[in-house]
Structure 1
Amino acid sequence: MTANPKAHQPEAAPPVVDRAAFDAALAEQVVREKEVTRASDRAAAARRRLPMVEVEDYVFEGVDGPVRLTELFGEHYLLLVQNVMYGVDWEAGCPSCTWAVDNLPATMSRLDDEGIAFAMISQAPVEKLEAWRRQRGWPHRWVSSGATTYHQDWGWTLDHGDYQGPVPGYSYYLLKDGTPYLTYMTGARGTEAILPVAHIMDRTVYGRQQDWEDSPEGWPQYPTYG
Structure 2
Amino acid sequence: MTKQDQPLAAPEIVDREQFDDALAEQVAAEKEVTRHNDRVAASRRRLPMVEVDDYAFTGPDGPVRLTELFGDAYLLVVQNVMFGPDWDEGCPSCSWAVDNLPADMRRMSDEAMAFALISQASIDKLEAWRAKRGWEHLWVSSSGTTYHYDWGWTQQNERGEEVLRPGYSYYLLKDGKPYLTYMTTARGVEAVLPVAQFMDRTAYGRQQDWEDSPEGWPQYPTYG
TM-score, scaled to structure 2: 0.98
Amino acid at match of 1:52: M
1:165: Cα distance to partner?
2.8
Per the alignment, residue 79 of structure 1 pairs with 76
Task: Give 1:147 deviation, angstroms.
Answer: 0.6
The amino acid that maps onto 1:222 is: Y
Could you tell me which of 132, 140, 150 is aligned with 2:137? 140
Report Cα offsets for 1:43-72 as digits up to 9, x if no partner: 000000000000000000111100000000
Q: Deviations over 1:141-161 (max 9, x none)?
A: 000001100000000012104
Within the candidate set 147, 150, 154, 2:151 is matched to 154
- Determine the structure 2 residue equivalent to 1:221: 219
Matched, 1:107 2:82: no
Partner residue of 2:59?
62
Q: Does residue 1:44 correspond to 2:41, yes or no? A: yes
Partner of 1:98: 95
Query: Which of 193, 196, 215 matches 2:194?
Result: 196
How many corresponding residue pairs? 223
Displacement of 1:166 in angstroms is 1.6
Q: Does 1:18 align with 2:4?
A: no
Q: In structure 2, how many angstroms separate the alpha carbons of the residues matched to 1:76 and 1:52?
A: 18
RMSD across aligned positions (CA): 0.9
Q: Is the 8 A contact 2:157 2:163 kept in 1?
A: no
Deviations 1:146-187 (A, max 9, x none): 110000000001210465232100000000000000000000
Unaligned runs of 5+ in 1: none
Distance (whole Å) between structure 2 residues aligned to residue 55 and residue 200 of structure 1? 35
Moved over 2 A (4+): 161-165
Partner AA of 1:112 in structure 2 = S
In 1, Cα distance between equivalents of 2:162 and 2:51? 27
Q: Amino acid of the residue matched to residue 214 of structure 1?
A: D
What's the TM-score, normalizing by structure 1?
A: 0.97
Q: Secondary structure at the match of 1:148?
A: coil
Percent identity of paired positions between Structure 1 and Structure 2: 72
- Say whether the 8 Å CA contact 2:82–2:165 is kept in structure 1: yes
Residue 8 in 1 paired to residue 13 in 2?
Answer: no
The answer to whether structure 1 residue 128 and structure 2 residue 125 are counterparts is yes
Contact 1:76 1:117 in 2 (8 A): yes
